[in-house]
């Protein structure tokens, strides 16, 4: 995809795929016969749809960053570098009936679940014609199967367990999925939710999204032991996936969702990835000081979008096809953002209007 020096992490600006990274990407996808079998069922349109979703997720964040730079917003929470965790998981669900509870890094899930992009952008401007009517920047829409989060980390875990319980009690073949940040795992709510989900055997998928950091605290300083062990600790089924490999996340989540539908209880999908920016746009420099630059360089080589492009090219998809998709998605994102700004201009903000 086109790179944006003013907005991309420096490691992404002159990005090219290292042969060993493509090799690793392909090896991961072939390592497990069950996953490889599922992936072989994906057609060209499915693969290109995932590409469009990855692009939309990245470009949505770039649009927000542009708004911050130009003074439209004071700050924005972005998911740069973590797009595959969101896109792979949502793509693996049955979006006509399943439900997701996204966190701040998972904003890409909203459009994927069917929420219109212009409404999402209006949400960041807190406009009355946005999903929450301007009341809250946390967005969701039950009609699209998106539970609106609250700010308190970890709370989506018991809520998702409860939604999954309702699905089972009604005899519906539906799955509820949420993402749990490494920091969010440290909350009581997360613990209670996982215990409850396991005890009741509900059809819930918990994507444990380890991006190595919680706000300004590295993973190594906010807990001991490995989060990889959590599934067995809670008596849940556990799967690992490469968080920068969208198809691996897809395959693991599809297996997890299938198990849920078969009544085999909740699954933790554990993924490792890396936050390529700050907690939000305000602390990007501090985030750079938090970690050794070598870590940014190492994860920078693993840009989930660049890797997927290299995989698609290797699978015979032409550069013209990919750039055509990019032009469409880029136009869609720009138009949606402009539409939201227009809406902002039209809205009467005088005190008398309240």
- Alpha-carbon span 305 to 51, nearest angstrom: 8
Comparing CB distances to ligand TPP, the nearer of 60 and 168 is: 60
Please tell me whether residue 211 binds Mg ion under the rule CB under 5 A. Answer: yes
Taking the complex as a whole, the smallest distance from the CB of residue 188 to ligand TPP amounts, in Å, to 9
Query: Does residue 97 contact residue 174 with C-beta atoms inside 8 Å?
Result: yes
Comparing CB distances to ligand TPP, the nearer of 273 and 343 is: 273
Which residues bind to ligand TPP, rule: CB under 6 A? 105, 151-153, 181-184, 187, 211, 213-215, 275, 279
Comparing CB distances to ligand TPP, the nearer of 214 and 268 is: 214
- Alpha-carbon span 318 to 53, nearest angstrom: 18
Taking the complex as a whole, the smallest distance from the CB of residue 109 to ligand TPP amounts, in Å, to 13
**Residue 319 corresponds to which tokens in the numbers above?**
């550069």
- Of 132, 140, 148, 130, the C-alpha closest to 340 is 130
Neighbours of 33 (CB within 10 A): 8
Up-side HSE of residue 306: CA atoms within 13 Å toward CB? Answer: 21
Taking the complex as a whole, the smallest distance from the CB of residue 5 to Mg ion amounts, in Å, to 26
- Alpha-carbon span 136 to 145, nearest angstrom: 18
Comparing CB distances to ligand TPP, the nearer of 144 and 273 is: 273
Comparing CB distances to ligand TPP, the nearer of 31 and 150 is: 150
If contact means CB under 5 to 8 A according to the sort of partner, which of ligand TPP, Mg ion, none does residue 342 touch? none
Taking the complex as a whole, the smallest distance from the CB of residue 194 to ligand TPP amounts, in Å, to 14
Neighbours of 225 (CB within 10 A): 8
**Among 53, 61, 182, 237, which residue interacts with Mg ion (rule: CB under 5 A)?**
182
Place of tokens 């073949």: 173
> What's the CA dihedral at 289, 293, 297, 300 to 10 degrees?
0
Please tell me whether residue 181 binds Mg ion under the rule CB under 5 A. Answer: yes
Comparing CB distances to Mg ion, the nearer of 284 and 326 is: 284
Query: Does residue 303 contact residue 17 with C-beta atoms inside 8 Å?
Result: no
Please tell me whether residue 272 binds Mg ion under the rule CB under 5 A. Answer: no
Please tell me whether residue 80 binds Mg ion under the rule CB under 5 A. Answer: no
Q: Which residues are near Mg ion by CB under 5 A?
A: 181-183, 211, 214
């Amino acid at each position: 995809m086109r790179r944006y020096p003013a907005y991309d992490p420096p490691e992404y600006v002159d990005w090219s795929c290292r042969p060993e990274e493509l090799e690793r990407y392909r090896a991961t996808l072939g390592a497990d016969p069950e996953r490889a079998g599922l992936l072989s069922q994906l057609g060209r349109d499915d693969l290109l749809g995932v590409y469009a979703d990855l692009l939309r997720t990245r470009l949505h964040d770039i649009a927000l960053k542009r708004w911050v730079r130009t003074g439209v917003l004071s700050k924005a929470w972005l998911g740069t570098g973590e797009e595959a965790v969101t896109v792979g998981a949502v793509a693996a669900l049955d979006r006509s009936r399943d439900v997701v509870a996204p966190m701040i890094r998972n904003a890409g899930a909203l459009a994927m679940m069917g929420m219109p992009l212009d409404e999402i952008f209006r949400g960041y401007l807190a406009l009355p014609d946005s999903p929450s009517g301007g009341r809250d920047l946390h967005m969701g829409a039950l009609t699209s199967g998106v539970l609106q989060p609250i700010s308190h980390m970890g709370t989506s875990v018991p809520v998702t367990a409860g939604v999954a319980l309702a699905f089972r009690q009604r005899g519906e073949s539906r799955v509820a999925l949420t993402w749990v940040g490494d920091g969010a795992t440290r909350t009581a709510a997360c613990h209670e939710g996982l215990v409850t989900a396991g005890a009741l055997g509900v059809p819930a998928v918990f994507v444990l999204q380890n991006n190595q950091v919680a706000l300004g605290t590295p993973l190594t300083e906010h807990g001991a032991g490995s989060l990889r062990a959590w599934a067995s600790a809670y008596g849940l089924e556990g799967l690992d996936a490469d968080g920068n490999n969208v198809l691996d996340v897809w395959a693991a989540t599809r297996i997890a969702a299938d198990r849920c539908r078969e009544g085999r209880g909740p699954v933790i999908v554990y993924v490792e990835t890396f936050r390529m920016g700050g907690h939000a746009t305000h602390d990007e420099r501090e985030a750079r000081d938090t970690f050794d630059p070598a870590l940014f360089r190492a994860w920078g080589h693993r840009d989930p979008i660049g890797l997927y492009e290299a995989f698609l090219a290797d699978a015979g998809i032409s550069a013209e096809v990919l750039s055509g998709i990019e032009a469409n998605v880029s136009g869609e994102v720009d138009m949606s953002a402009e539409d939201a700004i227009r809406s902002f201009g039209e809205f009467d903000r005088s005190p008398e209007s309240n």
